[in-house]
Amino acid sequence: MPSKTGLRRCERSSPVTPLHPFLVHFALSLALLTGTSEFFPGLRDRFPEKGWRLTENAALLLLLLAVLTGWHSLDTLALQNVTLPRQSFLHRLLAIFGTTTYGLLWLSARRRVPALPSGSRRMIALAGLLLVLSAAAVGGHLVYEDRLGTDFMRTAPPPAFPLP
């Protein structure tokens, strides 16, 4: 049915809500900012202390939300009989390890664990950055190559013999 603008109303056929793609870009930008600040401390000094604490909290919270919404996307797709590429499991693994690494960095900044020397913090930050950025690269591949979460996904063929 044509809408008021005269364009045909476009029904969305993908079962996936666009929450994950919406959230991940905020999570990634804050993860990049907080991760690189370990190598460029001048970056952190430009923020008031309270503002920086808030940024670190927001980065971890958004990464956790990215994991939750991603998990929900993958579950929804699996229930809809969509063919899940092997990379989707690699994406999940990289994202979970990356988020855990940021969690460790967050904990060490809160001094709830013994204070780490700056060299160790830098190694953890580098690992977190590489893991989260690799997860994002594989995520992009899932959408732009495998069309996951779009209206052009491939569904698994029906079984050759009907199930009893």
Under the rule (CB under 6 A), what is the footprint of ligand HEM? 16, 20-21, 24, 27-28, 63, 66-67, 70-71, 73-74, 77, 88, 91-92, 95-96, 98-99, 132, 135-136, 139-140, 142-143, 148-149
Q: Which is nearer to ligand HEM, 34 or 73 (CB)?
A: 73
Q: Position 73: which residue type?
A: S
User: Least distance in Å: CB of 48 to ligand HEM?
Assistant: 27
> What is d(CA 150, CA 15) in angstroms, rounded to the nearest whole number?
9
Q: Position 105: which residue type?
A: L
Q: Which is nearer to ligand HEM, 125 or 135 (CB)?
A: 135
Q: Which is nearer to ligand HEM, 37 or 69 (CB)?
A: 69
Report the residue number whose CB is nearest to ligand HEM. 70
> What is d(CA 40, CA 60) in angstroms, rounded to the nearest whole number?
19
Which backbone phi and psi does 80 adopt, to 5 degrees?
-90, 15
7-27 per-residue burial string, b: 16 or more CB within 10 A, e: under 16 = eeeeeeebebeeebbebbebb
Q: Which is nearer to ligand HEM, 95 or 105 (CB)?
A: 95
